[in-house]
Structure 1
Amino acid sequence: MKHVNQIRKIVEQGRLDEAHQAIEDLLELGPKNLEALKLKAALFEHVGRFDDEETLWRRIIEIDNEDEDAIRYFQKAQLEDREHYYFTDPLPGGGRRFLAYPRTLVSVSFIGLVGCVSFLLLTRMNGQMIVQSPILLLGAFALMVVSPWLAIIYLYVRTIRSINVTSAAIEVSTRFKTFRYAWPDIQQICLAHSGEPEAGELKLVIVPREKNAPPMSIDFAEATSAVRARRHLIQEIRDYFQDIRYENFDSILVEGRSMRRF
């Protein structure tokens, strides 16, 4: 029988199946072991099993209604419910549109703003060698102004603008293009996690049946994803495609096809 700290070390090594079994063995002896329940909830979050994660946190709050971790979880869940209200809207023909919040674009835009201000301040500094040298000044302009704005333009074109889920298909739209996957044409939808939980990587992967059609991978990690109301999006997808799988990203077979990554 392993203790919670030993199981955490197993998790850090990426042996998730072994960790799940060890937690189950521990909970058989102590069903109210809060640390074991929290570790199990964290593993469910890592692989995208949000419903199972919520069930565990409800169990924890029933055992201790003042548990700080459980309170934080439900505060976060309330925030996601608000995201569902502000970042989604019903479509006229049925279904729902999920609007994206481009975190990376916002961050790079801020860097671009700081770069522009810094360059303006730099050009007003009399007596500095960089101001007196056209080559150094041009290099500073390229680094502080041009580079961030090229990144902004690239991200503006590439990042997801919205995801539409209807009875006919799931549609992923950027600023200039829409990728449509009809439900009958989809072979697999899965939430793909990294082998190491500390990496915090989670992706929503859509694999079409057609061999020449490229699969799509969408960043679904809480800290970096542009998708808001992630749990609600999964529930919406499950209404039309119930067999959502939970896989290690490296185990997904795409048969050499290039993958669209967002």
Structure 2
Amino acid sequence: MSQTSDEIVHDPEGGLPRLLEIMRRLRDPETGCPWDIEQDFATIAPYTIEEAYEVADAIEREAWGELKGELGDLLFQSVFHAQMAEERGLFSFHDVANGMADKMVTRHPHVFGDESRDKSADQQTVDWETIKASERAAKARGGALDDVALGLPALMRAVKLQKRAARVGFDWPDLAPVLDKVAEETREVVEARDKLSHEALVEEFGDLLFVMANVARHLGVDPEAALRGANDKFLRRFRGIEARLDAKGKRPEDSDLAEMDALWDAVKAEEKAAKNT
């Protein structure tokens, strides 16, 4: 005997069917939640991005107790988008799941097909990209960069654009000319600051960031992760400054740059000493 809607909603072991029914009920035009009913793809997209970052943050902090909840929040975003799509007659959540399953089977012939698993992770990556390229060709994509998503964080998108261009031969052969380009773009930023408009300065600074993303790519570094690490380090060290000032009965606004810079160096030295012990 199948469950009623209320039984599914209140079933603590209902799993995915329960979540899908809750989402359907939230969007019901007569009995649902007014906020959820008013949303569309564009208004929900920022929340989807935010939840993805919160998953990454929990992993970065190794906050495993939080990860389950963050993954649930991210899953709910997929359920929300799929419900809105189903209401428009576009596709359902089951179509999303089946489409992903088909993609994974197709892209892993060494697991689900006849190909040998006797290959390195690097070779599997090459094979993955080859399959993706054939999929893009089947979709009649016009250019090599056409399907790099617009909504990606800018640094991540820069790396993806550069990787895609590199596949068709548009790339420096090694790191040295990329570093030369960094120096060139830095000079152009300084020149723009002194001689050009603010709009020109923004453009030159964007060029510098784009080249720095290329440096990261050639070094095999994820620039988003590197910048998050730098942010965390800055936060940690500045809090160290605040703690040392507080011990003197002072706040940062009661201090000056020279004092805070000396405290920064002290915090930095303490961190380095702790790493070497």
Q: Structure 1 length normalisation: TM-score?
A: 0.24
Larger relative contact order (Cα-Cα within 8 Å, sequence gap ≥ 6):
1
The structure where helix makes up a greater share of residues is 2
TM-score scaled by length of structure 2: 0.23
